[in-house]
Amino acid sequence: MSLLSSRSLRLVSRVPVFSRFASTKSLRETLQEIVPQKQAQLRALVDNLIGGMRGLKVMLWEGSVLDPNEGIRFHGHTIPDCQKLLTPAKGGKEIIAESMLWLLLTGQIPSEEQTRSLSRELAENGELPDYLEKLIDSFPKTLHPMTQMGMAVAALNQESKFAAAYEKGVKKTEYWTYTLEDSLNLIAKLPALAARIYRNTYYPEKQLPKLDPGEDLVGNYVNMLGYGNNEGMKEYLRLYIALHGDHEGGNVSAHTAHLVGSALSDPYLSYAASLFGLAGPLHGLANQEVLRWMLAMQKSIGEDGTHEQIKDYLWKTLNGGQVVPGYGHGVLRDPDPRFTALQQFCDVRPELKDSAIIKLVKKTSEVAPGVLREHGKTKNPNPNVDATSGCLLYHYGLTEFKYYTVIFGVSRALGALTQLVWDRALSMDAIKKIVEKA
């Protein structure tokens, strides 16, 4: 492997592999084959880093690449690619978390059998231990849901197989296998953990349903949130969680998990830190701010506001010294393909065609780019995923704004924990040991 700039790395990551692997190998068996290949690639890269890297920007991130013009790609696959190739839920049409997790971890498209097997494994390991249920139940209702989530995830650290193995002096070449076990265990428990926080904070009188071993990860999550009979909500959250699972490593939550993990903190502690970064207003609260702004505009111009009224309200916002939330992006310079995917979801779901808030989102996306270009102070006047994601939750009846970031936290675990596994597998100490034995 030759010296790669960030541009070169992006180009390499764009090459899609459009074959569905019919193998029945487990996730662990698949990774056992892939890890040595990746280690060899990284060793070749490091061997070529002669003369320093001053002024050269390089990010090594395993699961995804964020291109300013094309948007996100997961191991070379665009969102439309993933929608065609990744296994949906039984009877559903949208990507499920398990198939996206497999792709992020291995770079391969899982077979339906592999996806269903992973779903069963996660459901079977999804129940919370008694001590964690008691801890979550002890939190005051006034404690922010994200604070509760971070504390609960950190408390799972006492189950860490990686921490236990490290204490016993496990070989560095085996770090990644224990990190994988912790990561899968955490992902399995996040739906029950997040749903318990929702129940305790907003509906303490309700009983939580049991995990269904035949359901996918998000299907069980939605059931425990109390929306099990709402197929539209279930399909939406499947799509939302898959699309938000990874967005390269430069954002606060992904970088924080990577940074804390670099101290060999176990996945529970690393991801707890990530969640507290995600809780910040400039990261995980964006779709709430969009929704508040949309509802304020709706109150001002009415549910059937015209394009001209929306244009006037946009200028009122800008002339008041405020930004239009949900537009522009720190990296993207073209429309966010995640927004496009959610709008396509809106277009095909019958219950959304007459939704006042969803229609207002669409009209605003038709007007706002032109206003923002005329305003001249934004590099990207196009809508990002936050322009519609919170409004969809609101339409489906989940109106507790503070909880929205918890859903984001369930999703982002897919990518952040994938990277922790590969951080361990590709650690230079581990690769050095492998080379010495060769």
Which residues are catalytic, by number? Answer: 283, 329, 386
Q: For residue 422, give both structure tokens.
A: 């590969």
Residues facing 72 on adjacent strands: 66
432 CB-near residues (< 8 Å, 6+ apart): none
d(CA 209, CA 228): 10
Residues facing 88 on adjacent strands: 95
- Pair 355, 362: CB distance under 8 Å: no
- Pair 67, 10: CB distance under 8 Å: yes
Nearest in space to 109 (alpha carbons), one of 120, 98, 93, 119 = 98
d(CA 278, CA 267): 16
Amino acid at 355: S
DSSP, res 76: T
357 CB-near residues (< 8 Å, 6+ apart): 294, 295, 298, 391, 394, 395
Amino acid at 374: E
Amino acid at 385: V
Q: For residue 304, give both structure tokens.
A: 């059937």
Contacts 24+ apart (CB under 8 A), 218-222: 218/89, 218/96, 218/97, 218/191, 219/89, 219/96, 220/123, 220/126, 220/191, 220/192, 221/190, 221/191, 221/194, 221/195, 221/410
- Pair 313, 300: CB distance under 8 Å: yes
d(CA 70, CA 268): 33
- Pair 295, 303: CB distance under 8 Å: no
